[in-house]
Structure 1
Amino acid sequence: MSTITEMSPEMAQLFQMMKTELHQQTATITNAVTESIIHKIDEKLQTIVEENKYLKNEVQRLVQKVKYLDGQNRKNNLVLHGIKETENNPQELFDLIKETINFLDIDINIYETNSYKRIGKRQGGNKIRPILVSFTSFQKKLKILKNKTKMPKPTYITEDFSKETMEMRKNLQEKLKEEKLNGKDAFILNNKIIIKDTTDAEKRKREASISPNNTNVYSPTGGSNNVSAPPKLHKTNAFEYMRARSVSSTAKPPQKHNA
């Protein structure tokens, strides 16, 4: 019985060619299947990446919206600090608020507030909880805030900011202190440090002192410090001129009568 080892050279060569071709076909099929799978995975991943990108943008939009709504909700709020907790009911608490704000020469009525309460849980010792007051009018809140320096110590007034804004303003205050130490005229506005350009301001001031009205003035007497303006030109009113021409052209000449 013949075996593979007993194959003729022609058969052995044919067998080797078939084996090689089979390997090549297997590799081709494997690569094609692999590429197809990778392509499908890439498509699914691309879809997931796009969805993830959309969701991130949506989350950022919602976060900004929440921040805006939170800011609007705190817009008319003020926080009173250092007022001893001697009240036993809401009416007594409002009387304390009213008495404190009276130091600013400002009177408030209960209908000018939306709500008022102590912030946090009652604690022992000398810990005094601040009072959060929400006003019905932003103008009322602004008026109180402008006069906050009249508050007797140790009481004081602050605006109602979120923890994130308070941390941001804390960092801004440190930066503001550095700017002022460097001799710059700076202040905080809308959670940003604004630095005035004192050079331009002084330049405008000097220019204004040279020409107070910033206009050219005509002086009949002249002088080295005066700037002469050209005299007014006598302009002809075109409409009056055309009207006069029209009347003169339509006027009939007087007729002669024969004797």
Structure 2
Amino acid sequence: MEEIMLALKNIQKDIDEQKSEIRKSADKVTERVTQNINKILDEKLTKLQVQQDQLKEKLDNQEKRIYFLEKQARQRNVVFFGIEEKESSYDNLQNNIYSFIKKYFSTDIELRDIQELRRVGKKGDRPRPIIATFSTLGIKINIMKQRGLLKDTQYYVKEDYPLQVLEKRRELQEQVKIEKEKGNNARIKYDKLIILKTNNKRSLPTSPENTTTAESQSKNNTNTQVYKKNRTQKPNKPIQRSNSMTEGVIKPSMLNFLVNKNINNTTTEQKDDTKETNI
């Protein structure tokens, strides 16, 4: 009986060890499977991220192109405000705009120069604005330059901006008010804010001592420049022999040395002059 119990204990022990090994192997398998799944998911997510970045870049490029095309399409447009809405046809609207431009603007324009006209917005009590497209950019520029002629009237004209630019300009209006309260000259140019800061500092008067010092410095600088100029333009003087016995006779070797020295000095000064000219 004891042998049977001992055998059973050994069998139970073996079973427990096998269970432990199975659990360990199962954990290892689970860990490996998890690692492989995570690796596969990371690779797929990386590919998806790359594709998303590429699509985002393409979308940004498309938006830039659409913005550029819209900007180009509105480049020759002018928006007229306050013109009475009494036309019954497109021809009447075209004739009204033509007569309006001839009356208030000194612009050489023909009826064929008005390429397209349309009113925008919902019809109500107030006349809707008119967007006019002209055949050339020069006509639009001339009208915008003369918009001050409508100052004392109920009419006014504006640029035809894309929707993005209009939203940006509305946001910049608050900054313009803040800068003007600070005393700065601020204005909006298309979709950018331009700030011209005012300089209230006065230039201090110069004292006689400072004036005298400045004049003396300028004179010294002038003298130095003249000296340098004369030095650089100084011709090579020929070496003369002395007839006096006390001075001695100049040997040919010494004469060559003096000549070579003068030539080297002249070459060095010419190089310096060339460097100053290049600078």
Q: Same fold (TM over 0.5)?
A: yes
In structure 2, relative to structure 1, the CA distance for the partners of 1:237 and 1:136 (3 Å cut) is farther
| Mapped contact 2:113–2:134 kept (Cα < 8 A) | yes
Are 1:114 and 2:115 counterparts? Answer: yes
The alignment-based identity, stated in percent, is: 26
Q: CA deviation at 1:88?
A: 2.5
Q: Which residue of 2 aligns with 1:174?
A: 174
Q: Partners in 1 of 2:39 and 2:128 — Cα distance?
A: 63
Are 1:73 and 2:73 counterparts? Answer: yes
Q: Partners in 1 of 2:46 and 2:172 — Cα distance?
A: 42
Q: CA deviation at 1:74?
A: 0.7
In structure 2, relative to structure 1, the CA distance for the partners of 1:173 and 1:9 (3 Å cut) is closer
Q: Which residue of 2 aligns with 1:148?
A: 147
Q: Which residue of 2 aligns with 1:132?
A: 131
In terms of fraction of residues, the more helix-rich structure is: 2
Spell out the pairing of 1:92-241 with structure 2 (5 A cutoff): 92-102=92-102, 103-121=104-122, 123-124=123-124, 126-151=125-150, 152-199=152-199, 230=222
Q: Which residue of 2 aligns with 1:20?
A: 20
Which whole-Å deviations, capped at 9, do the CAs of 1:90-127 have from their partners, x for residues lacking one? 33222211222231222321232321122245x35x22
In structure 2, relative to structure 1, the CA distance for the partners of 1:161 and 1:7 (3 Å cut) is same
**Partner-residue secondary structure (3-state), 1:129:** coil
In structure 2, relative to structure 1, the CA distance for the partners of 1:86 and 1:202 (3 Å cut) is farther
**Partner-residue secondary structure (3-state), 2:96:** helix
Q: Partners in 2 of 1:109 and 1:118 — Cα distance?
A: 21
Q: CA deviation at 1:41?
A: 1.5
Q: CA deviation at 1:139?
A: 2.0
Q: CA deviation at 1:236?
A: 5.9
How many aligned positions are there?
A: 217
Which whole-Å deviations, capped at 9, do the CAs of 1:43-102 have from their partners, x for residues lacking one? 112211221122122212211221111111111100101111222333322221122223
Q: Which residue of 1 aligns with 2:39?
A: 39
| Mapped contact 1:117–1:132 kept (Cα < 8 A) | yes
Report the more deviating stretch, 188-197 or 8-17: 8-17
| Mapped contact 2:165–2:190 kept (Cα < 8 A) | no
Structure 1: which 5+ runs fail to align?
Answer: 211-222, 239-259
